[in-house]
């Protein structure tokens, strides 16, 4: 046998190891390279093996039911198979990429299976179906599986995204789909050079270079390894390899072992994606598929999930193109992610639940809707929240509230706030949103109503869509801090949440500055609002009264050391902090929001300062045309200026508060049993 250069073999293998193992369910603590090899092989064996319930369409095309995991996650629970027909779960069908199994989505299957009755298309390696034949098979399965009460959410990844688009068009007249999810879809394949490169790869000599490695296996592994995993995925698997205990003790046999393992992974490429299979699926699936699919004919709500750094196909630009072509579509652009976008930085189930797709709109039990189903907590529940969170904050910060009437006069307390009808409160975000409970508790006390808070998920202590936790299958219960916000009706800030709250006429609280304000340690209280005026236009659409408000005191209760951006420049840990912050913001709908750095500032505690709140003069939008951009921009500027003036007034006036600092304030309140007085209200009277 001929020998090849060991270094080129090893370098190629590093790329393909990254490619193959990035989504493998490796053992919690792999000890050797062989552990990684075995783990990867086990994942493929699991995907190849028919599930407990499987529907064969042709000898080479079948649909496997994905059973939800057991309560401890150690095995898939198939005990309920006999009752699937009466299940209240909506249906989801997943179409894989070129591999035919869906190895890139294995990290998503558990959550999908908990929330949906989930089926996965499996395409055998020896399948010779044409693109239209596969589309026909999928359409047939959907027709036989769905009912008027249980329609299908069709999910397609990569090549499967192109097929899913064709299926959606095929079924557009029979209305069997509730939604379409396209993940890095290969609808842009005709804009790449793969149609030229793949035939060249397939034509390489079939003779072995060494130990089962062919020119195709070597070059194909190298190219795929360069284009499929993103940089963070490459770094993650390389870190895993370098940290293996077996590599910490160099020995003469170690290099040989590494090379043997590398060669194994190269042969895996040829075994799992042989040249003949790749050529067939490119020439018989992708090329005719991109030529045949008319995307503008898709008529179901569509979510496009795209990795911004996808080097295999131009997913980021394709995402924007699809939004222009497909009605009722929206995008989830994932920063710093490539073609394998469905790793642990994205929860596809949550993304679907908070897209325009509504899987639960038909008959059967609907999941908890945090917008429409939320009700005021019981007195017992409120008392628990007040005792555990609010009263300690009130004792520490002794908050002072002011409100403004329609004539511009300021009053102590919140008596001049009218919460009848749709109301939108807009204000600055205080440090870590710690003042939200203070605001909600005071409004409950004085107005017996609570505005629905729209706050950044990180700032309020829970992840995206966390209000579903404990209420929707597959999403775990949240912690105590997050549950306190949920008890007061707070939800994560998303365009859909904001729109639906105002549409339903509920008083709503929005922080336009978002995480940039909530995670800043700056004590100058400069607003960090975007230039967008969307909240004004939405408020005008529903005739909502806008009430600007200003709040200070929380950031003065810490000693700031480094802002978020500054922490990224720290030696040794700065780059790690930056990477972690990018992971936190992976799943955002708004491109501008995605630019936020979701790391954490570095600070130390200080003595709690008093908190002060001014609710400004109401802005009536009943005569405001939401389509009049100039008028909306003026209202936006007025609201922002009102908030900034309130901040300036409070910062100036608190210098005259004899009880701003905690020692004297606590002493007074302990002795007299009531809140300590503050500065004269004349200091903040409207000019």
pLDDT, tens digit, for every residue of 243-268?
A: 666 666 666 666 666 666 666 666 66
pLDDT at 167 over 50: yes
More confident residue, 56 or 488: 56
DSSP designation for 54: E
Alpha-carbon span 512 to 454, nearest angstrom: 9
Strands 61-66 and 54-58, sheet pairing: antiparallel
- 565/661 same-domain check: yes
Give me the pLDDT at residue 251, please: 62
Say what the pLDDT of residue 477 is.
37
pLDDT at residue 380, as a whole number:
83
Note the pLDDT of residue 19: 43
Phi, psi dihedrals of residue 122, rounded to the nearest 5°: -120, 125
pLDDT for the residue numbered 549: 98
How many domains in the chain?
A: 2
Reported confidence tier of residue 9, pLDDT bands at 50, 70, 90: very low
Q: Taking 60 as the threshold, does the pLDDT of residue 457 lie above it?
A: no
Tally of CB atoms within 10 A around 440:
25
Among residues 359, 394, 428, the one where a domain terminates is 359
Predicted confidence (pLDDT) at residue 222 exceeds the cutoff of 60: yes
CA 261 to chain centre: 36
Distance in angstroms (rounded) separating the CA atoms of residues 141 and 156: 15
The confidence score (pLDDT) of residue 617 equals 96
pLDDT of residue 410: 95
Model pLDDT for residues 103-138, shown as the tens digit of each residue: 888 889 988 998 899 999 999 989 999 999 999 999
pLDDT tens digits, residue range 277-290? 888 888 889 888 88
Q: How far apart are the first and last CA of the chain?
A: 91
pLDDT of residue 21: 44
Pairing of strands 491-492, 602-605: unpaired
Domain assignment present for residue 369? The answer is no
Average pLDDT over residues 186-211: 77
Nearest residue to 119 (alpha-carbon basis) of 168, 57, 75: 57
pLDDT tens sequence across 340-353: 888 766 889 888 88
**Range 506-530 average pLDDT:** 89
Query: For 38-93, how does the pLDDT look when each residue is reduced to its tens digit (9 = 90+)?
Result: 776 677 778 888 887 889 999 999 999 998 876 444 455 555 555 555 467 889 99
**What is the spatial distance between Cα 65 and Cα 58, in angstroms, rounded to a whole number?**
16
Q: What is the pLDDT of residue 208?
A: 66
> What band does 469 get if pLDDT is binned at 50, 70 and 90?
very low
Does 395 map to a domain?
no
Is residue 122 situated within a structural domain? yes
Neighbours of 81 (CB within 10 A): 12
pLDDT band at 669; cut points 50, 70, 90: very high
Helix or strand (DSSP H, E) at 642: helix 629-653
Do 62 and 182 sit in the same domain of this protein? yes
Same domain, 568 and 650: yes
- 316 and 427 housed in the same domain: no
Neighbours of 73 (CB within 10 A): 9
8 Å CB contact between 163 and 134: yes
CA distance 177 to 148: 10
Chain centroid to CA 303: 13
Position 292 confidence tier, pLDDT thresholds 50, 70, 90? confident
d(CA 23, CA 463): 23
Number of Cβ atoms within 10 Å of the Cβ of 26 = 18
Write down the number of H helices and E strands in the chain.
24, 18
Q: What is the structure's pLDDT at 123?
A: 94
Lowest mean pLDDT, pick from 132-136, 371-375, 626-630 = 371-375
Strands laid side by side in the 302-307 sheet: 54-58, 61-66, 117-123, 91-95, 152-157, 177-183, 302-307, 329-334
Average pLDDT of the chain? 80
| Dist CA 122 CA 134 (whole Å) | 11
Which CATH number does the domain housing residue 14 bear? 3.40.50.1820
CB 558 within 8 A of CB 603: yes
Residue 278 sits at the vertex; the CA angle it makes with 273 and 282, to the nearest 5 degrees, is 150
In the predicted structure, residue 439 carries a pLDDT above the cut 90: yes
Query: What are residue 306's DSSP bridge partners?
Result: 333
CB 316 within 8 A of CB 337: no
Q: Is residue 575 included in any domain, yes or no?
A: yes
Domain end point (choices 326, 359, 392): 359
Between these two residues, 294 and 433, which has the higher pLDDT value? 294
Q: 348 with 419, same domain?
A: no
C-alpha–C-alpha distance, residues 474 and 347, integer Å: 11
504, HSE (Cβ side, Cα atoms, 13 Å) = 17
> Under a CB-based contact definition with an 8 Å cutoff, are residues 20 and 273 in contact?
no
Query: Do 416 and 350 fall into the same domain?
Result: no
Return the H-helix or E-strand segment holding 546.
Answer: strand 545-552
Three-state DSSP at 312 gives coil
**Residue 113 belongs to a domain:** yes
Mean pLDDT of the 664-682 span: 95
Picking from 72-86, 323-337, 403-417, 530-544, which range would have the lowest pLDDT averaged per residue? 72-86
**Stretch 215-244: mean pLDDT, rounded?**
70
Residues 349 and 426 placed together within one structural domain of the fold: no
Tell me which residue of 109, 105, 118, 113 sits closest to 23, measured CA to CA. Answer: 105
Same domain, 28 and 128: yes
User: For 538-559, what is the mean pLDDT?
Assistant: 94
Select from 461, 484, 479 the least CA-distant residue to 469.
479
612 vs 73 pLDDT, higher one: 612
Nearest-5° Cα angle at 354, 352 to 356: 80
Closest C-alpha among 288, 464, 399, 429 to residue 659: 399
The Cα 380–Cα 438 span in angstroms is 18
Using only C-alpha atoms, what is the Rg of the chain? 29
**Which residues share a beta bridge with 453?**
509
Give the Cα separation of 334 and 309 in Å (integer): 8
Mean pLDDT confidence for 516-539: 88
Do residues 178 and 274 share a domain? yes
Q: What is the pLDDT of residue 84?
A: 56
Going by C-alpha positions, the residue among 640, 641, 643 that lies closest to residue 533 is 640
Please report which confidence band the pLDDT of residue 2 belongs to, taking 50, 70 and 90 as the band edges.
very low
175-189, 238-252, 554-568: least confidently modelled range: 238-252
Residue 182 lies in a domain: yes
> Would you state the pLDDT for residue 602?
83
Per-residue pLDDT band for 382 (boundaries 50, 70, 90) equals confident
If pLDDT is split at 50, 70 and 90, which confidence band does 493 have? confident
- What pLDDT is recorded for position 147? 83
- Average confidence (pLDDT) over 505-518: 88
pLDDT band at 203 (very low <50, low <70, confident <90, very high): confident
Statement to judge: residues 573 and 435 lie in one domain: yes
- Interval 408-415 mean pLDDT: 95
Listed residues 359, 375, 401: the one ending a domain = 359
> What's the per-residue H, E or C state across 385-446?
HHHHHHHHHHHHHCCEEEEECCCCCEEECCCCCCCCCCEEEEECCCHHHCCHHHHHHHHHHH
φ/ψ of residue 259, rounded to 5? -65, -40
User: Is the model more confident about 578 or about 613?
Assistant: 613
Instruction: Please check whether residue 530 lies inside any domain of the structure.
Output: yes
CA angle 232, 236, 238 (to 5 degrees): 115
Q: Where are the alpha helices (DSSP H) in 425-526?
A: 436-447, 480-487, 495-503, 514-518
- Joined together, the tokens standing for residue 535 give 């909240």
Q: How far is residue 44's CA from residue 511's CA, in Å, rounded to a whole number?
A: 46
Residues 6+ apart with CB under 8 A from 618: 404, 406, 418, 545, 546, 547
Query: What CA–CA distances, in Å, run from 420 to 227, 332, 371, 544, 659?
Result: 56, 36, 18, 10, 34
pLDDT of the residue at 47: 83
pLDDT for the residue numbered 70: 60
Which range has the top average pLDDT, 259-268, 446-455, 543-552? 543-552
Question: What is the pTM assigned to this prediction?
Answer: 0.56
The torsion angle over the Cα atoms of residues 499, 625, 618 and 382, rounded to 10 degrees, is: -10
Pair 135, 214 in one domain: yes
What confidence score (pLDDT) does residue 26 get? 40
Whether the CB-CB separation of 164 and 190 falls below 8 Å is answered with no
Q: Quick one: 500 and 420 in the same domain?
A: yes
State which residues form the domain around 42: 1-74+87-359
Range picked from 17-26, 84-93, 423-432 for highest mean pLDDT: 423-432
SS3 453: strand
Question: Does residue 158 form part of some domain?
Answer: yes
- Residue found under tokens 């060669």: 263
443 vs 424: CA distance, rounded Å: 14
């Amino acid at each position: 046998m001929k020998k090849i250069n060991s270094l080129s073999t090893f370098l190629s293998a590093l790329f393909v190891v990254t490619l193959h193992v990035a989504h493998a369910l490796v053992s919690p603590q792999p000890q050797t390279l062989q552990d990684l090899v075995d783990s990867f092989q086990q994942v493929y064996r699991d995907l190849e093996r028919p599930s407990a319930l499987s529907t064969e369409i042709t000898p080479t095309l079948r649909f496997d039911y994905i059973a939800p995991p057991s309560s401890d996650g150690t095995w898939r629970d198939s005990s309920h198979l006999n009752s699937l027909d009466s299940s209240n779960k909506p249906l989801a069908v997943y179409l894989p990429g070129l591999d035919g199994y869906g190895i890139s989505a294995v990290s998503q299957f558990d959550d999908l299976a908990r929330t949906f009755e989930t089926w996965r298309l499996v395409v055998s390696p020896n399948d010779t179906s044409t693109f239209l034949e596969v589309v026909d098979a999928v359409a047939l399965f959907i027709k036989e599986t769905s009912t008027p009460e249980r329609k299908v959410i069709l999910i397609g990844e990569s090549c499967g995204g192109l097929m899913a688009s064709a299926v959606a068009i095929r079924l557009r007249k029979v209305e069997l789909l509730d939604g379409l999810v396209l993940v890095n879809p290969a609808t842009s394949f005709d804009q790449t050079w793969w149609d030229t490169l793949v035939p060249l790869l397939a034509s390489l000599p079939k003779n072995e270079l060494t130990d089962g490695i062919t020119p195709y296996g070597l070059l194909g592994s190298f190219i795929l390894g360069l284009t499929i995993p993103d940089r963070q995925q490459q770094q993650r698997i390389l870190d895993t390899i370098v940290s293996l205990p077996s590599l910490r003790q160099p020995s003469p046999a170690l290099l040989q072992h590494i090379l043997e393992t590398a060669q194994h992974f190269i042969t895996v490429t040829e075994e799992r994606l042989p040249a003949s299979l790749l050529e067939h699926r490119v020439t018989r699936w992708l090329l005719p598929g991109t030529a045949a699919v008319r995307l503008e004919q898709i008529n179901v709500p569509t979510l496009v999930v795209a990795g911004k750094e996808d080097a295999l196909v131009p997913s980021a630009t394709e995402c924007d193109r699809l939004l222009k072509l497909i009605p009722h579509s929206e995008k989830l652009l994932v920063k710093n992610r490539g073609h394998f976008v469905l790793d642990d930085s994205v929860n596809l189930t949550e993304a679907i639940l908070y897209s325009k797709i509504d899987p639960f709109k038909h008959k059967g039990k609907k999941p908890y809707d945090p917008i429409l189903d939320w009700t005021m907590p019981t007195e017992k529940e409120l008392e628990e929240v007040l005792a555990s969170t609010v009263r300690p904050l009130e004792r520490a910060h002794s908050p002072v509230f002011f409100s403004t009437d329609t004539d511009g006069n300021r009053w102590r307390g919140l008596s001049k706030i009218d919460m009848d009808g749709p109301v939108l409160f807009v204000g600055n975000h205080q440090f870590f949103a710690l003042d939200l409970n203070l605001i909600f508790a005071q409004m409950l006390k004085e107005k017996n109503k609570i505005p629905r808070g729209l706050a950044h998920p990180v700032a309020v202590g829970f992840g995206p869509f966390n209000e579903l936790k404990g209420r929707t299958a597959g999403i775990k219960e949240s912690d105590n801090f997050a549950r306190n916000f949920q008890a007061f009706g707070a939800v994560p800030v998303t365009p859909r949440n904001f729109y639906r709250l105002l549409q339903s006429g509920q008083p709503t609280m929005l922080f336009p500055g978002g995480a940039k304000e909530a995670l800043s340690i700056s004590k100058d209280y400069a607003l960090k609002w975007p230039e967008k005026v969307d909240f004004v236009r939405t408020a005008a659409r529903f005739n909502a009264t806008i009430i600007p408000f200003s709040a200070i005191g929380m950031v003065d209760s810490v000693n700031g050391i480094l802002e978020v951006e500054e922490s990224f420049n720290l030696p040794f840990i700065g780059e790690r902090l930056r990477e972690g912050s990018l992971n936190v913001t992976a799943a955002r709908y708004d491109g501008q929001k995605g630019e936020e750095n979701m790391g954490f500032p570095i600070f130390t505690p200080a003595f709690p300062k008093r908190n002060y709140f001014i609710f400004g003069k109401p802005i009536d939008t009943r005569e405001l045309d939401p389509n009049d951009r100039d008028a909306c921009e003026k209202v936006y500027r007025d609201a922002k200026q009102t908030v900034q003036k309130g901040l300036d007034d409070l910062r100036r006036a608190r210098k005259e508060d004899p009880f701003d600092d905690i020692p004297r304030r606590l002493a007074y309140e302990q002795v007299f049993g009531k809140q300590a007085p503050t500065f004269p209200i004349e200091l903040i009277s409207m000019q």
